[in-house]
C-alpha cells in the first residue's frame, strides 16, 4: 500500500510544473490519468518533453477537448475523481467548458488545482512567461550569480518545480483533506510567483534585521564568503564548501593546512583575500583527491557531481536515490521504505485497467 493509494487525480497534460506534479503524485501511489491532446484536436503547441521519466506511472488518454463527446468523457472521469490539476492560462478551461463551476457542479467534493506562473488574478494573470520571469518578479532571481555579471537562473528548479509543482502538491492534498472533512471541494490557485516569494521568507527576515542586502554576491549564503562557495580544482572539477559553523570551518582549515590566524572566519574585510587563498590551494589537487581529504570530517566539503556521476555515488546508491534506469526514484521514504513507482509510461493494457478502476 502506497501513501496515496486510492486517490484519483485527473492531469491535463502540459509543460513544466503540472507534468512534474503528476509524476510525484503517481510515484506516491495516486491513480493519475494524464489527458493528452488527441490527433483530431490538431497539432500540439509544444513538443514532447516529459519522456519516460516525467510521464512514468500513469496512463495517457488522448482527448479532444473541443469535442462535446470527449468533454462528456472527461466529466465522467471527474465525477469519480478527488482532484484535477491543470496549468493552462486563466480562462482556457472555462472556454473549453471545463471550468471550476462546471466540474464542481458534477462533483462538489472535487479539488480543482490550477498551477500557473502569475496566478489567476492580478495585472499579469493573462501574460505569458517562463520560470525565469517568475523568479525575476518574486525577487529570488536577484540573489543568484556574481555581483559583476547579470543574474543567472538556477535551471527551472525553483519556479516550475518548487514554487509551482511542490506548492501545487501541498495545495491539492490540503484541499482533498479539507474536502474529506466538509464534503466541499475547492479551487486552488497556485502561482509560481507566490510560491517562490514564500521560499524567500528567510531572506526577508534577515533583511528586516539588517543582515541581508539587495546587493548580489555580498551576503552569507550567496557565495560571497570564502567558507560558503564553490572552488575549481586542478583537474577542472569543482568542490562545494559549506563550512558555516566555527567548528566546521576549523575542520576546513585543517584540511587545507591553514590556521585560524591565516584565515579568520569572520574578518569580513579579509574575505576576498581568504577566498583567493582557498582557491589557490584547491587548485593544487584534483577534485576527487579533495573529496578523499575531507571524507569523514566536519568540513562540509563535497565534490560537485555531474548528473550522470550522481547516479553512481555510493551514498545515492545505498539510499536508492536513483532507480535501475538511472532516473530519480520516488521520494520521500515512509517508515524507511521508498515508494515504488512505475519507471515507464503504462502499456495500453495497463491504461485500460487503470480506467476500469474509476468506474
The C-alpha cell 543582515 sits at 211
Taking the CB of residue 93, how many other CB atoms lie within 10 A of it?
A: 20
CA distances from 288 to 59, 267, 304, 312, 321 (A): 43, 30, 10, 14, 21
Closest of 201, 89, 197, 88 to residue 137, by C-alpha: 197
- All three cell numbers of 334, joined, read 515512509
The C-alpha cell 538556477 sits at 154
- All three cell numbers of 19, joined, read 507534468
| DSSP SS3 for 240 | strand
Sheet holding 301-303, edge to edge: 228-232, 238-242, 301-303
Task: Give the distance from CA 261 to its chain's centroid.
Answer: 42
102 by Cβ neighbours in 10 Å (0-12 / 13-18 / 19+) ranks as middle
Distance CA 78, CA 111 (A): 10
β-pairing verdict for 8-12 and 83-86: parallel
Give me the DSSP letters along 266-306. T-GGGHHHHHHHHHHHHTTS-HHHHHHHHTTSSS-EEE---
Q: Which residues participate in catalysis according to the annotation?
A: 130, 160
Judge whether 267 and 225 are in contact, CB under 8 Å: no
**What separation, in Å, do the N-terminal and C-terminal C-alpha atoms of the chain show?**
21
DSSP state of 339: P
Amino acid at each position: 500500500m502506497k501513501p496515496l493509494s486510492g486517490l484519483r487525480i485527473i492531469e491535463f497534460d502540459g509543460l513544466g510544473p503540472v507534468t512534474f506534479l503528476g509524476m510525484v503524485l503517481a510515484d506516491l501511489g495516486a491513480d493519475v490519468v494524464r489527458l493528452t491532446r488527441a490527433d483530431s484536436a490538431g497539432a500540439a503547441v509544444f513538443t514532447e518533453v516529459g519522456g519516460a521519466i516525467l510521464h512514468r506511472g500513469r496512463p495517457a488518454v488522448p482527448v479532444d477537448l473541443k469535442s462535446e463527446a470527449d468533454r462528456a468523457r472527461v466529466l465522467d472521469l471527474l465525477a469519480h475523481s478527488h482532484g484535477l490539476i491543470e496549468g493552462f492560462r486563466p480562462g482556457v478551461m472555462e472556454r473549453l467548458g471545463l471550468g471550476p463551476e462546471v466540474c464542481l457542479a458534477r462533483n462538489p467534493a472535487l479539488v480543482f488545482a490550477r498551477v500557473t506562473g502569475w496566478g489567476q488574478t492580478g495585472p499579469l494573470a493573462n501574460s505569458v512567461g517562463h520560470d525565469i520571469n517568475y523568479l525575476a518578479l518574486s525577487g529570488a532571481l536577484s540573489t543568484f550569480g556574481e555581483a559583476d555579471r547579470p543574474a543567472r537562473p538556477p535551471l527551472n528548479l525553483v519556479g516550475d518545480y518548487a514554487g509551482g509543482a511542490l506548492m501545487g502538491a501541498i495545495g491539492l492534498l490540503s484541499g482533498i483533506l479539507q474536502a474529506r472533512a466538509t464534503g466541499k471541494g475547492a479551487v486552488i490557485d497556485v502561482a509560481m510567483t507566490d510560491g517562490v516569494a514564500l521560499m524567500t521568507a528567510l531572506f526577508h527576515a534577515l533583511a528586516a534585521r539588517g543582515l541581508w542586502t539587495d546587493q548580489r554576491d555580498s551576503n552569507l549564503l550567496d557565495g560571497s564568503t570564502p567558507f560558503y562557495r564553490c572552488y575549481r580544482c586542478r583537474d577542472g572539477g569543482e568542490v562545494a564548501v559549506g563550512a558555516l559553523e566555527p567548528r566546521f570551518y576549523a575542520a576546513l582549515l585543517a584540511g587545507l593546512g591553514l590556521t585560524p590566524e591565516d584565515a579568520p572566519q569572520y574578518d569580513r574585510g579579509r574575505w576576498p583575500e581568504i577566498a583567493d587563498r582557498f582557491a589557490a590551494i584547491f587548485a593544487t589537487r584534483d577534485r576527487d583527491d579533495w573529496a578523499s581529504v575531507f571524507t569523514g570530517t566536519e568540513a562540509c566539503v563535497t565534490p560537485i557531481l555531474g548528473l550522470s556521476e550522481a547516479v553512481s555515488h555510493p551514498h545515492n546508491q545505498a539510499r536508492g536515490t536513483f532507480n535501475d534506469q538511472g532516473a530519480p526514484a520516488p521520494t520521500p521514504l515512509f517508515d524507511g521504505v521508498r515508494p515504488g513507482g512505475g519507471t515507464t509510461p503504462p502499456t495500453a493494457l495497463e491504461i485500460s485497467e487503470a480506467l476500469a478502476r474509476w468506474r
